Structure 1
């Protein structure tokens, strides 16, 4: 991928694999992989340097989606297929393309962490502190490791305990609970590393941390870009990091037969997932730009989405007039013309996930987000957003 310019929004797919965990003679998690490589964990991390905000969106592994070139399957098989069929970019590339289609935003980078590196990084910083919201029984990996019953309350976790904590699915909400715990652990790690009181400890641990990251974290981010993003995250307060999970209200439950075996799947409800995405990418966090009262138009202009304005009304010239109006406001309109349809109401088609522009257009055109904003991810589309004008806009609009 191209080098990060330091100003654009960055979106990174965080991956953890479902390989069987193996231990060495000392009971440490081994670097050796055993078993199939499907993505056990998928978290979309977005960072906006312009507004000093960030967000995490967790994607359940049983989500039933269209995997490019392979048809419909659970989303966790995208990584496996990319590796098994030796596609360009392997498993990470196919996983990123699949997530792009499902969530509707471009994903430039990935970071895949090995289980052994996860445990060592937490041990390198001498444990993390989390608040256990419900009593949970963990099954740590390792010879002679006993089950751990954690009551509700604050708890310090070492590497092996933390791994068991983020992998446990045996709770009332299963994967949803697990996804929340994974985000919780990421935040706890961040808080421990960035706490000024821990600076001497972090400095002394830096060589080990660096070595474990180099050996156990695989990414297409350059070292320089990774360091710059790390410095940027230091400047983003916790209140400006929005977290979300695709939960049971955003899917329908189903069953399919694959190779003679019955599988339980989660079928996405696209509008609800898009609303969650926008809440994280555009309006997330108490200190997010829109929540702080930042002007939606200013944010849309900063985002720089390319826009096509098409006339789907019976009023001649309305597309050109609207395009000129939007250009006068600073919107990057690159195309006008006639639509091949006459919708009952104005609609916006989002090809690449431009949340600030969508938010502004929703206000300007008075759109019903669940009906008149359509997510149709297409990285080959000529523009980021298509606006198809209808008679409602032609009859009533703020243009001079």
Structure 2
């Protein structure tokens, strides 16, 4: 890549930033799925003229003799929603910054999550602070938990509007804790107050952290040559744009595969106009995976010692070089199913109006605790050794990019995608063919929820000698946005419809 081996230190520094924000991001990637590797192409700035990147047609790939295994665990969500703590009549606190008396009691510190001794909790932050500016808000907050033995990773995104008790300050949105710490000269600075806030409210002890501002994020993506993003939901927004004649740019992205430069990637992760803060967390994790894919493609990981000295122009971290190399060694052995994603969503939080009038998110204590415990605890030993269910995707939508959008989502949900194929046949509806021979541990409820499938569109065709466990046929009604649901509520297994299996070729 141009600039990587020259005297141009700026691109080199951004590559170092990329290592911190992606290698340290627990190396979240869909490793080893060659047919999902990003296309090698130049960066394309996408605004009004954004276009989908065509996807090559792949033939189904034979798979080894299957082992029937239970479904990988979905994102944990509570079976029921407890009530919010009633508004008290006493024990209120006064915010030292707003001078407003809240109507919430000062909570007791959350008990620390019990974890194996060698577990590493990394706090990854994206700030709206401009380089050299005043303390910003941490609008991207991700806790990455690495379990070294056996290697696995959990990502927990924390909404910026989560309303929490900030020690020595009062109730605030969590994205303001860093700023309050900087303004009050809190011991250890803003990062220390944010760490203490997370530990106080969520019971998470942060071991290491890394932070980048918007300028650094844009430079990182551009230094990597752009990033490939599977857009699952329509996104419409207007952004300030110094490169535009009128100072702003409208974006209108439909579902598909996009290759974005730094500016447009930042817009993608920050947009809330047509979505929500909760959905923004999903897109942030999506972009982090895409960034790591690009770093793997460029073999940047092999250059960790070389780029380390260039680190620091746009990223702050307390990681040491040897720690980063250690994390890279852990990540090199990760499989896609070793990475679990967790989002704080409806059912775990609800809307709340703070005394200042701000629209915030207030957590259901029991539901949040259940999610945090699940996210920060290593998967059960019996799950680690299980093979993921295999899925082949037939794309009959007429849009080549949607096949890869579906495949990437399946990988994120813990499935092994063996092929993505274009089919000429017309399918009005999306169908799921189930070739497994036992309903025990079946992922059919999860797959049905991802694609909005009623029982009569799940076709049971058991085959002991199968080369794939499921075939997903994307029909004209395929809506990738359905799969972005943050909560998956288990339902009864739909009654399958036994019919003849279609031909084995697209």
What TM-score does the superposition give when structure 2 sets the normalisation length? 0.49
Q: Partner residue of 1:136? A: 235
Of 167, 178, 192, which aligns to 2:280? 178
Backbone CA RMSD of aligned residues: 2.6
More strand, by proportion: 1
Match of 2:270 in 1: 167
Deviates more, 1:139-148 or 1:64-73: 139-148
- Write out aligned runs for 1:233-252 (5 A): 233-252=331-350
Distance 1:32 1:208 in 2: 26
Secondary structure of 2:330's counterpart equals helix
CA, structure 1 residues 92+113, in 2 after alignment: closer, same or farther (shift >3 Å)?
Answer: same
* Aligned residue number for residue 79 of structure 1: 178
Q: Confirm or deny: 8 A CA contact 2:147 2:153 kept in the other structure.
A: yes
Aligned to 1:55: 154
Question: How far apart are residue 96 of structure 1 and its match?
Answer: 0.7
Q: Secondary structure at the match of 1:191?
A: helix
Structure 2 Cα separation of the partners of residues 142 and 234 of structure 1: 40
CA distance in 1 between counterparts of 2:303 and 2:377 reads 36
For 1:275, the equivalent position in structure 2 comes to 370
Hey, what's the Cα distance between the residues in 1 that align with 2:199 and 2:341? 18
Decide whether the 8 Å contact of 1:12 with 1:46 is kept in 2.
Answer: yes
Superposed displacement of residue 212, structure 1: 6.4
Q: Contact 1:256–1:264 (CA<8 Å) still a contact in 2?
A: yes
C-alpha deviation, 1:146, in angstroms: 2.7
Q: Would the aligned equivalents of 1:140 and 1:163 in 2 still touch at CA under 8 Å?
A: no
**1:12 aligned partner:** 122
Change in Cα spacing, 1:214 to 1:102, as seen in structure 2 (3 Å) is: same
- Cα offset, 1:126, TM superposition: 1.1
Counterpart in 2 of 1:115?
Answer: 214
Deviation readout 1:63-89 (Å, 9 max, x if unpaired): 111111112221122101110011121
Cα distance change on mapping 1:88 and 1:223 into 2, 3 Å: farther
Normalising by structure 1, report the TM-score: 0.61
Unaligned runs of 5+ residues in structure 1 are: 1-5, 22-30, 295-400
Q: Within 1, Cα distance between the matches of 2:208 and 2:223?
A: 25
Q: For 1:146, what is the secondary structure of its paired residue?
A: strand
Summarize deviations over 1:156-206 as a string: whole Å, max 9, x none: 11111111111111233x1111100000111111122124xx43xx48998
Distance 1:90 1:292 in 2: 39
CA contact (8 A) 2:162 2:173 kept: yes
Find the counterpart in structure 2 of residue 255 from structure 1. Answer: 353
Asked if structure 1 preserves the Cα contact closer than 8 Å seen for 2:295 and 2:301, the reply is no
After superposition, the Cα gap between the structure-2 partners of 1:240 and 1:206, relative to the gap in structure 1 and judged at 3 Å, is closer
Equivalent residue for 1:289, pick from 381, 389, 393:
381
In the superposition, relative to structure 1, how do residues 110 and 204 fare at CA in structure 2: closer, same or farther (>3 Å)?
Answer: closer
Q: How many residues were matched structurally? A: 267
Deviation at 1:154, TM superposition (A): 0.7
- SS of residue paired to 2:211: strand
Cα separation, partners in 2 of 1:109 and 1:203, compared to 1, 3 Å: closer
Contact preservation (8 Å) 1:96, 1:110: no
User: For 1:169-248, what aligned pairs fall within 5 Å after superposition?
Assistant: 169-172=272-275, 174-195=276-297, 198-199=298-299, 202=300, 213-248=311-346
Residue 153 of structure 1: CA displacement?
0.7
Alignment of 1:337-352 (within 5 A): none
Distance 1:156 1:65, change over 3 A: same
Q: How does 1:321-340 map to 2 (within 5 A)?
A: none
> Which protein has greater RCO, CA pairs closer than 8 Å, 6+ apart?
2
The verdict on how the C-alpha distance between 1:147 and 1:232 changes in structure 2, with shifts beyond 3 A counting, is same
Q: Does the 8 Å CA contact 1:171/1:177 hold for their aligned counterparts? A: no
Residues in 1 aligned to 2:328 and 2:149: alpha-carbon distance in whole angstroms: 15
Residues 36 and 83 (structure 1), Cα distance of their counterparts in 2 relative to 1, 3 Å cut: closer
Larger helix proportion of the pair: 1
Contact 1:14 1:43 in 2 (8 A): yes
